[in-house]
């Protein structure tokens, strides 16, 4: 049998018995990740600031996959709220094995010398502090349960600059460094931690962009299009799976060759 003729592996049950927490799960990449984990057999806690949206998302995933789901309202800028979300996941679903720290915002657009201080603080609080607070509370629960895997959602702007987005770029660079540091600290204890760096993805975050701005973003990607949430979900879920058992502290780009230029 040739490699081309071999059937693709069946990953429908690769997360059976596993419990996952996904932040920013009401829409976009977070929703796609949560749905993919549920399709793979995981029980999934969907956490988001948008309480109505995340409840609807959890209900829909349960309806379509039959997986156990839990909707949790979380404000990732508040460490107490994050702790409560992690605790609710472990208490209601029985454990915490997998986490995707995906919640984030885009922020305002302005040059560094003109960037509003309140906007800076808001972006850093959500996109960087939120990842730290999440890992701060996820890791002890995973260690107590024998280990786990975490994926932090960075960006291509975790390795590149981008005019007008100093706060977002700084936060995503911080996520990459935080990921590598935590991976070093916990690799020997059975918790794998990695980061994913999507290019511009067709999500609600870009919904407000006009046609000209959208077309401009497309031209930045040699692949000639924006990415899809489901494509990011596939990479993320692979990194959470046992198939990626020797991948620690890595930063994986999925960007239609944006960063290859």
Active-site residues, by number, are: 168
Residue of 225, 147, 129 whose CA lies nearest to 186: 147
Residues 6+ apart with CB under 8 A from 243: 14
Q: What's the token pair of residue 189?
A: 């204890």
Question: Measuring CA to CA, which residue among 224, 195, 46 is closest to residue 128?
Answer: 195
Other Cβ atoms closer than 10 A to 137: 22
Half-sphere exposure of 205 toward its Cβ, with a 13 Å CA cutoff?
24
Coil vs helix vs strand at 48: strand
- Report the C-alpha gap between 217 and 206 in whole angstroms: 10
Q: Tell me the β-bridge partners of 201.
A: 227
Structure tokens that stand for 258 in this block: 């944006």
Contact 71, 54 (CB under 8 A): yes
Pairing assessment for the beta strands 191-198 and 43-48 based on DSSP bridges: unpaired
| Dist CA 174 CA 172 (whole Å) | 5
Q: Is the separation of the CB atoms in 94 and 19 below 8 Å?
A: yes
């Amino acid at each position: 049998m040739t490699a081309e003729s071999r059937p693709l592996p069946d990953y429908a049950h690769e997360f059976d018995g596993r419990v996952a927490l996904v932040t920013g799960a009401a829409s976009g990449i977070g929703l796609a990740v949560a749905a993919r984990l549920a399709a793979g057999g995981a029980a999934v806690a969907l956490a988001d600031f948008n309480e109505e949206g995340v409840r609807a998302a959890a209900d829909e995933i349960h309806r379509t996959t039959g997986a156990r789901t839990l909707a949790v309202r979380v404000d990732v800028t508040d460490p107490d709220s994050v702790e409560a979300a992690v605790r609710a996941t472990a208490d209601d679903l029985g454990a915490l094995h997998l986490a995707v720290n995906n919640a984030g915002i885009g922020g305002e657009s302005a040059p560094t010398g003109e960037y509003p201080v309140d906007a800076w603080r808001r972006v850093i609080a959500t996109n960087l502090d939120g990842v730290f607070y999440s890992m701060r509370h996820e890791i002890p629960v995973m260690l107590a349960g024998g280990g786990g895997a975490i994926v932090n959602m960075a960006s291509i702007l975790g390795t590149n600059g981008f005019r007008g987005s100093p706060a977002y770029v700084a936060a995503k660079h911080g996520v990459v460094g935080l990921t590598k540091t935590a991976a070093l600290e916990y690799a020997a204890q059975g918790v794998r931690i990695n980061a994913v760096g999507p290019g511009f993805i067709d999500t609600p975050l870009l919904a407000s962009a006009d046609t000209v701005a959208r077309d401009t973003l497309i031209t930045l990607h040699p692949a000639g299009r924006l990415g899809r949430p489901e494509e990011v979900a596939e990479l993320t879920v692979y990194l959470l799976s046992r198939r990626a058992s020797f991948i620690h502290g890595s930063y994986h780009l999925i960007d239609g060759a944006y960063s290859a230029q």
